[in-house]
Each structure stands twice: as C-alpha cells, then as structure tokens.
Amino acid sequence: MYENCIGIIGSVQDFIWEIKLLNMGADTEHQLFYRGQNDISFGLAPSIFRDGRLDYESKIFSEILVNCPEEFISHKTPFEKLTKMQHYELPTRLLDITSNPLVALYFACQPRSIQVKLKDIIEQDEEWYRENTDLEELKNRLEECSKLEDADGEVFVWIDTPLSPDDPKVNVLSELARSCKKGSQLDSFTNEINRFTIESLTEEEVKSILQDFSYVTVVASLDNNRIKRQSGAFILFGMVYNNFESDLYSNKNVPFHIKKKNIELTINARNALLEKLKFQIAEENDEDIDEGMKEYINKQNKLLTDKAYSYVIPKERKKYILAELDKLGVSQKTLFPEIDHQAKYIINSLDKKSVIAKEYDALKSEIEEIKENKEKNAEEQISNLEQKKELDKKIRPNVTKHDTVIEKVCNLLGYNKATSKQVQKDFANASELFSAPDWYIFDSQKATYRLFIKKYFINDGISAVEAEKAATQIVEKLSELKFVKAR
C-alpha cells in the first residue's frame, strides 16, 4: 500500500524506536533533519515553486519590502529577509525543517482541511442560491460542501551537514529570490551578491555554487521565538544551472527533485547499521543494546534505497498520536508562541472530547456569522424575553457576583460544588469570554458568548436544550449586573 515507506507509525513509541535506530548510526559530520507533512500526496517543494509563483518571485520579494519596510530594518541579508517572509507565510524558496523529530511528527499528524469560499459555492449552483434565502439551510449546505476526508501524513528524514546563514553558498542561493529576473546575467547577479558579503565572490565562484548546490540545509538564527521552540532550520532551494543558457532566469523553472541526494544517505546509514546490529545480536555481543531495541531491530528488514524515503502516519492514528505528543509537551501551545495560537489551544483544551482544529474553525465561522447578523427579528426578541423571565425566576434578584451567577446555573444543571468551581475556573481562563469592552451593550457580542458557553456545556454532556437555557441565563444575568454597575 505504501511503496515508498520506511515504516508505518502508529504511536509515538514506534517513531522513537526508528529515530533511536537512525541516531545510533549517525556520525559527527552530519546531522539528522525532519519534515512532517499532513498529506502524503504533497510534494517536497517550497511554496514559491508551486502554482506558477516562481515567475513572480522577485516582484513578491520587492513589494513586501516596499510595503512593510519597518519589518525588515534588522534583516540585512537576503536570507534573513526570506526567513521573515516565510514566518508570515509568503511564498519563498525556503522549506521548513526541524532537528526535533517529535515536532515533525506533530505537523504530519495535523488534520487536513480545505477552505471553501462562499462565492465558489454560489458559482457552482447559482440557481439554488437565488431561490434559497434560509440562513441555516445555507450554512448546512456550506458545511456539507466543505467536508473533506483526512489524508495519511508523512515524515521525511535525511542526513546533511548544515550551513550557517552567513555561508557564501547561502548568500548566492538567497539572492536568486531578489535579483534573478528576466535578462539577468551572471556578471550583474554576482555584483548584487557582493553587496551582502564581506569577501567578494568571482563570477566563477558564483557559477560553481549554482552548479554544485541545487539546495542546501541552513540552520536558522534563534532570534525568532517560533523557530527556537520548533528547533527550526531550512532547506534553501537554488536552481538546476545550465552552462548553455546565458540568461540566469531561464534556469529558474527547470524542475528538480530533493529526495534522492540526502534521503539516500539516510536510508544507506540505516541499512548498514541494521545489518551491523543484527550481527551483534546473533553473536550475543549486544550488551550495549537494551532489550526493547533488540526486539525492534529483529523485526526490521533492510530497505531498498531507491524506494523508501519517508515514514507514513495513517490518518486513523493522527488524533491518537497528537494526544500522546500533547502529554509530552509537543502541542500548539509549546510550538507557537503567538497569541492567536495560544487562544486556540485554550479553547481546544476546554473541550473534554479533544475536538480537532477543523471543528474549532467551524465553530469560529459560526460565531462570525452571528456577529454579522446583528438585527434580531420579532420571534427572537419574544424568545429572549421568555428566557429572561425564566432566568429571573430561577436566579434570585439579590445575586450580585459574577461567580455566584455561574454557580447558581451550575446547581440547576445538577453540578456538584467541585464541578461548579471547575466551570467557573474554565470560564475565567477563557480569554475570549466576557473580555470585550462594554460587551453587555451589544447583542452580537452577547450572542457570541452564549454560543461559547452552550458549546462548553454540550461538550460536558448537557443536552442542547438545557445548554441553551444555561448559556442564556448566564449571559443575560451578567449583562444585567454589568449594566447596573455601569450606571
């Protein structure tokens, strides 16, 4: 089924055995690097090489510098600028890799998702859209259209000797992004490179680098917090240099493959070590090998170097492995320091069923729709009035504290004291809840909070009807208290 597979990974332990085996054969001259991709059908190529973007590479490079000059003040060389662009997801000739195998496994286990634009759906079925104005039905239709089966993940492993960011080879390949335009000649390209190097390079030296290094592995500077947390590095892509083409630009679109060069080194090293260890075990010269590793080695077969180049993670095992990684401290929380990622992790942590990122995005979309739908119809107003009357009956008017409101509602739901305290704590730790200024004035903001609380209670086993009531009671009573306090 997986013809290019070194091994199938069903757990973190499976992967650790393989990495341990690879590291036992590693030498001091080379270093192991890893890249995880959540879809086995994806190619191993940087984003600038996809969808015809390479033709616009220098334009992308120059325009971002013009539009956001303050962001690049401290980034002097083309490579430093490329790493900054890569951080903000601009298409570049960099491919993210890591020296931490568990980080690569985390990315390989991410669920595959697809974004379906509203206009695309409308264009496909314009007649249906014009005849149907029911918002709920439209939402359901969009949700159905956006469903996509997950894919198997993949982790690539290879051995290389990484370069530092100030290596001349890095300067040459990075400069392709900025200066390799239509009509570029070797002499003018060399002059551009020498603007950023301490020691000038000759045309022959530049030519030699372009010929001999179609890509290089580069260790990243640790001034970026995300790169530091992810043990990040990069593969910097160059080109397939043709001596017979005077125009450098004509070489840019020549396709080439990354897998053969470094991945073969990895597999060869693994095979040689495997044979050596099996011989040691057979000869009982294995006192340095622990029992678990012996058992694993005896199960392994030698791999064909021209066929095997990655580890495959079956889609059915992704969620399980992500849960294992979370317990080991490898998660969105630890790998992404930015506040938006931290907020997503907090929301996901509240869900006791460990809802995956795609479901959170669906919830977020629903919240956004409610924000946009600010006008309430008469039926909604009547419903809210009835719920408010029920609220006033069940919660005493003399309740004046935030936590007391939540506690009273939890009592009505049958929660014990300890569980009620945990609910209060969870709500207090949710950064998106009751944080907006003057939220109690705006119906759209209250609707957002009601939806959040409803989702929380449903995930805790409360029925949808009771969860809706509880959410309404909490939000309405707290907004009432806020309004009185503000007056």
pLDDT at 271 over 80: no
Q: Are residues 480 and 346 in the same domain?
A: yes
pLDDT at 368 over 90: no
33 touches 337 (CB < 8 A): no
| 469-to-31, 68, 402, 415 alpha-carbon distances in Å | 58, 48, 18, 15
pLDDT in the model for residue 187: 84
Residue 345: partners with Cβ closer than 8 Å, 6 or more residues away? 331, 332, 333
pLDDT at 397 over 60: no
Q: Are residues 370 and 462 in the same domain?
A: yes
The whole-angstrom separation of Cα 89 and Cα 157 is 23
Q: What is the domain extent for residue 242?
A: 5-113+152-263
Q: Are residues 179 and 77 in the same domain?
A: yes
Q: SS3 of 433, please? A: coil
Domain annotation covers residue 225: yes
Domain annotation covers residue 99: yes
Q: Between these two residues, 322 and 349, which has the higher pLDDT value?
A: 322
When mean pLDDT is compared across 325-339, 374-388, 427-441, the lowest value belongs to: 374-388
Domain annotation covers residue 276: no
Q: Are residues 358 and 442 in the same domain?
A: yes
Domain annotation covers residue 141: no
Q: Are residues 223 and 91 in the same domain?
A: yes
Domain limit, last residue, from 211, 239, 263: 263
pLDDT digits (tens, 9 = 90+) for 216-262: 889 877 666 767 777 788 989 888 665 545 566 666 555 555 555 55
461 touches 440 (CB < 8 A): no
pLDDT at 208 over 80: yes
Domain limit, last residue, from 248, 263, 278: 263
pLDDT in the model for residue 110: 92
Q: Are residues 372 and 254 in the same domain?
A: no
pLDDT at 357 over 60: no
Phi first, then psi: what are they for 9, rounded to 5°?
A: -100, 115
Domain limit, last residue, from 229, 248, 263: 263
Q: Are residues 253 and 362 in the same domain?
A: no
Domain annotation covers residue 145: no
60 touches 53 (CB < 8 A): yes
pLDDT in the model for residue 369: 64
Residue type, 14: D
Q: Which residue has the tokens 């690569």?
A: 104
Domain annotation covers residue 384: yes
Q: Are residues 257 and 348 in the same domain?
A: no
Counting the structural domains of the chain, the total is 2
Q: SS3 of 62, please? A: helix
pLDDT at 26 over 90: no
pLDDT digits (tens, 9 = 90+) for 303-312: 544 445 688 9
Q: Are residues 202 and 89 in the same domain?
A: yes
The whole-angstrom separation of Cα 392 and Cα 388 is 6
Arithmetic mean of pLDDT, 422-440: 76
pLDDT in the model for residue 352: 42
Domain annotation covers residue 391: yes
pLDDT at 401 over 90: no
pLDDT at 485 over 60: no
The whole-angstrom separation of Cα 229 and Cα 457 is 34
Arithmetic mean of pLDDT, 151-179: 88
Q: Are residues 22 and 166 in the same domain?
A: yes
Arithmetic mean of pLDDT, 13-33: 79
Domain annotation covers residue 34: yes
Q: Are residues 156 and 23 in the same domain?
A: yes
pLDDT in the model for residue 104: 93
Q: Are residues 248 and 350 in the same domain?
A: no
Q: Between these two residues, 320 and 132, which has the higher pLDDT value?
A: 320
pLDDT at 486 over 60: no
pLDDT digits (tens, 9 = 90+) for 122-163: 555 556 555 655 655 666 666 655 555 788 999 988 778 889
Task: Give percent above pLDDT 90 in the chain.
Answer: 8
For residue 394, what pLDDT band results from cuts at 50, 70 and 90? low
Which H, E and C letters describe 303-354, residue by residue? Answer: CCCCCCCEEEECHHHHHHHHHHHHHCCCCHHHHCCCHHHHHHHHHHHHCCCC
